[in-house]
Structure 1
Amino acid sequence: MSAIVRLENVHAAYGQEPILTDVAAEAAAGERVAVVGPNGAGKSTLLKVLLGLVPHVIGHVEVAGQSVTPGHPPSGAAYVPQSQVMGLDMPVTVWDVAAMGLLRRGFWPKKPGPKERAEVARALVAVDMLEWREELFGNLSGGQRQRVLIARALIRNAPVWLLDEPVTGLDAPTQEVIEHLIDGLRTDGVAIIQVTHDLEPARLRQFDQVWCINRRLVGRGSFDEVQKRGILADTFGVPVGKRPEGKEGGGADVPSGALSV
């Protein structure tokens, strides 16, 4: 199966500070990839490299058949950031934010027609947010904001989705809505690259690949592969699912998700 997302010998930096070194990975259409690693490892930066948002990049980056270079985002990618990174003081409504998904399809600032407005409405219905369409985005709860950002991405009709911790800190109903939508996207052949801090084995086994990042690609494969080969432990510096030994010489099992990512 040919790759729809490809990184070859990628190095990325902000100014003089290197963030990622010699990253090589790929994902096929319909695959769901978990990107895991400790805080500051470069997980969010990896998504921004795929979006052409990192100013200094060496190597080859390709998304949906399009070479990605700094300042030139790919047309075939939809991006869902963490909801808290959106400006909450901007006087924009739920409808306005969702309709931003039309931006790279040539309907902005040109006024969208009836077909496009119906598309925005369908996307908001899909995330149960149509009734909030006139509410200011900044007045919403974190879960509601994330639903709206998902709706904005749906409107892009992109073959690749890049998600930065899309369900972190959200209530169970919102997580269920988002997971259901992601499952539908995979069925439709959309590639999902998702940053997550959830290391529970049952959760990571839902992904086709796990990319372990710590300023470099430590390794990748299915969850069982990266766990068996010790790649997860190498990434975090401690055995995943084990408590680091303290002064008392402990080493008791702890839930994998207890490790911060």
Structure 2
Amino acid sequence: MSGTPAGDALRLRDASIGYGDVAIVQGVDLTVAHGEAVAVLGSNGSGKTTLARGLLGLAAVLGGEVQVLGAPVGRLRERGRIGYVPQRHTVSGAVPATVREVVGVGRLARHGLLGRLRPADRAAVADAVTAVGLADRIGDPVASLSGGQQRRVLVARALAAEPELLVMDEPTAGVDAASQEALAAVLADVSTAGTTLVVVTHEIGPLSGVLSRAVVVDHGRIRYDGPLAGAQPTAGGHCHPDQPAGPAAGYRFDQPRVTIDVAAARNGGH
């Protein structure tokens, strides 16, 4: 990126986000500046994933204001400005595809489904694959890779679009230590280049050296927003704020799975 864009990367004001008419996240006030590296923390069912999906237009904004890169959520014309790494761990499927082909999908956000990859696009794909340490596997079928390597392919797919904002949902869950360390190194470089990072996770792990700010979601509300060090880890590696606090003043690759969230909300949980 050349220079820092004006304004905020994210701005939420009294935002309620959910599915159908059920609000999972409520009354959120949150501002993230361009270039920040933010961890969205919380236990399973806290609402942290719903908050992230709201930023991507994968969950409905039921009230308040949500702006992403200066535009109301879902109305950003240049969808390639947002990169997304979903929670699903792997990218293997019924149709064989190489690493190059999967990562190349990331360029479609720049040109549309009918756009043809140009030399600059192919270079961006190669750079993204190299960034995640898989240059020697670029022509291999993704099905031949380990789970951790397939996770890195998902990261490369998002990076190939050269996004200004990168949202990641549980990027280290279920992958080996080596892949976690490789991911941390990639994100450190991406953050240094000026990309805004929003990483949804229930534990920090090796990303503690990359992420500098923590937003803790609990029962659908923000309970802490401040330095990462203020969200103290428990013995199990999960992070929680020192003390409760009041609410602090892209493109789509995967079908969101919302039935669990909705069922929990209707049973009185979040």
TM-score band by shorter chain is 0.7 to 0.9
CA contact (8 A) 2:184 2:207 kept: no
Instruction: Please give the secondary structure, in 2, of the residue aligned with 1:257.
Output: coil
Q: Does 1:103 align with 2:108?
A: yes
CA contact (8 A) 1:13 1:56 kept: yes
Of structures 1 and 2, the one scoring higher in RCO (CA 8 A, sep 6+) is 2
Q: Which residue, 212, 216, 220 being the options, matches 2:225?
A: 220
Displacement of 1:21: 0.7
Pick the structure with greater CA Rg: 1
Paired position in structure 2 for 1:132: 137
CA contact (8 A) 1:56 1:70 kept: no
Q: Which residue, 207, 230, 237 being the options, matches 2:211?
A: 207
CA contact (8 A) 1:53 1:73 kept: no
CA RMSD of aligned residues (A): 2.8
CA contact (8 A) 1:21 1:216 kept: yes
- 5 Å-filtered alignment, 1:48-59, equals 48-59=53-64
Paired position in structure 2 for 1:4: 9
CA contact (8 A) 1:43 1:195 kept: yes
Displacement of 1:158: 1.2
Paired position in structure 1 for 2:157: 152
Paired position in structure 2 for 1:172: 177
TM-score (norm 1): 0.79
Displacement of 1:44: 1.4
Displacement of 1:67: 1.6
Identity of aligned residues (%): 32
CA contact (8 A) 1:57 1:70 kept: no
Distance 1:5 1:160 in 2: 9
Distance 1:72 1:110 in 2: 16
CA contact (8 A) 1:204 1:210 kept: no
Displacement of 1:35: 0.7
Q: Do the aligned partners of residues 226 and 198 (structure 1) sit closer, same or farther apart at CA in structure 2, a change above 3 Å counting?
A: closer
Paired position in structure 2 for 1:46: 51
Displacement of 1:71: 10
Distance 1:259 1:195 in 2: 12
CA contact (8 A) 2:91 2:154 kept: no
Paired position in structure 1 for 2:237: 257
Paired position in structure 2 for 1:20: 25
Distance 2:129 2:207 in 1: 27
Instruction: Please give the secondary structure, in 2, of the residue aligned with 1:84.
Output: coil
Distance 1:173 1:72 in 2: 37
Q: Which residue, 30, 41, 63 being the options, matches 2:35?
A: 30
CA contact (8 A) 1:81 1:164 kept: yes
Paired position in structure 2 for 1:91: 96
Q: Do the aligned partners of residues 56 and 28 (structure 1) sit closer, same or farther apart at CA in structure 2, a change above 3 Å counting?
A: closer
Instruction: Please give the secondary structure, in 2, of the residue aligned with 1:175.
Output: helix
Paired position in structure 1 for 2:197: 192
Q: Deviations over 1:203-250 (max 9, x none)?
A: 6575321111121112211134455xxxxxxxxxxxx53xxxxxxxxx
